[in-house]
Amino acid sequence: MKSYSFKGGYMEKNVGKVDAWVRVIVGLVALYLAFAVSAWWLIVAALAFVTALKRSCWLYQLFGMSTAGKKQVVKSVKKAKRRK
């Protein structure tokens, strides 16, 4: 599975729907902690929100993991190929 193409500049979707919702909830909790405890939690919140919205996680790609179904991966690759 090709995870990143420098020519096309795309990343495949590897975050499933349930995983994305969990990341949104973690982001909301981290956002609360950023205001209640320490501003460093903003980094965790930002990472959780960005990976949930883009449906792509670089750590998953590093380890060759995916929680996205096969249909989501195929759609993201087809969409990236159309951009070329």
Please give the pLDDT value at position 5: 45
Q: What is the DSSP letter of 35?
A: H
Residues 6-33: tens digit of each pLDDT: 445 567 888 999 999 999 999 999 999 9
Number of neighbours of residue 22 by Cβ within 10 angstroms: 15
Residues 45-60: tens digit of each pLDDT: 999 999 999 998 888 8
Smallest CA-to-CA distance from 53 within 81, 18, 23, 10 is with 23
Q: What residue type is assigned to position 20 of the chain?
A: A
26 burial class (0-12, 13-18, 19+ CB within 10 angstroms)? middle
